[in-house]
Every structure is written in C-alpha cells, then in structure tokens.
C-alpha cells in the first residue's frame, strides 16, 4: 500500500511564544519559527498588537549559488519541493490566524 503513504511534511519548525522585543512584552509576538526549507527559505509567523497574523519568508541566498550542472539539478529539485512547502505554510497560517496567544511574562 505504498501509494497511500503520506510523505513527511517539508515545513518543519517549532511553535514559539516570545515577544519580539524583550523590553516590550505587550508588543508583537513570534509564534512560529521554521527550520530551513527548500532553496534555503525560512518562515517566521508573528501575531501583531493589532491582532493580525503576519508571515515573513526569508531566503538564505548562499543556497542559490549554482556552480555546475549537478547544483542546477539540485536547485530544480528544491524548486519543485517549494510548491509543497508553500502549501504547507498556507495551511499553518490558516491554523494560526486568530489563535489567541499571550506573551510570556517579562523576563522568562
């Protein structure tokens, strides 16, 4: 039944509940931080003081260096995975949107 096996998620990381500014525990809160994904992308999700959920995707440009045909093949493979990673990110954002997070106590 290999056709029914769900592949492991490409988007991995961990939930965080930390104020962006340790000196302002009532400010924006980092709620999710991803591991590095396809093409060196990372995803950070924040809840803002206005109640919005905001996501930032940041590339690690060193991952985009292409020196030979083998590296080009690797980039193409990662680009194919990128579509699935972004779909998983969309699902995560949908889950986190509107989630009520309280910043941890100052100094923790």
Q: Encode pLDDT of 67-85 as tens digits.
A: 899 888 988 898 889 999 9
Q: What does pTM read for this prediction?
A: 0.74
39-76: pLDDT as tens digits: 889 999 999 999 899 999 998 776 667 889 988 898 88
Mean pLDDT of 97-106: 52
Could you give the C-alpha distances from 43 to 28, 32, 85, 86, in angstroms and in order? 16, 8, 10, 10
Give the pLDDT confidence score for residue 35 in this predicted structure.
96
């Amino acid at each position: 039944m290999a056709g029914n096996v769900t592949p492991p998620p490409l988007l991995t990381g961990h939930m965080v509940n930390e104020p962006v500014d340790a000196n302002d525990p009532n400010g924006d809160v980092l709620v999710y931080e991803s591991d590095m994904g396809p093409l060196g992308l990372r995803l950070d999700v924040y809840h803002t003081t206005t109640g919005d959920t905001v996501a930032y995707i940041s590339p690690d440009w060193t991952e985009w260096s292409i020196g030979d045909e083998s590296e080009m093949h690797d980039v193409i493979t990662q680009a194919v995975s990128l579509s699935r990673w972004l779909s998983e990110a969309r699902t995560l954002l949908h889950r986190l949107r509107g989630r009520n997070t309280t910043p941890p106590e100052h100094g923790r």
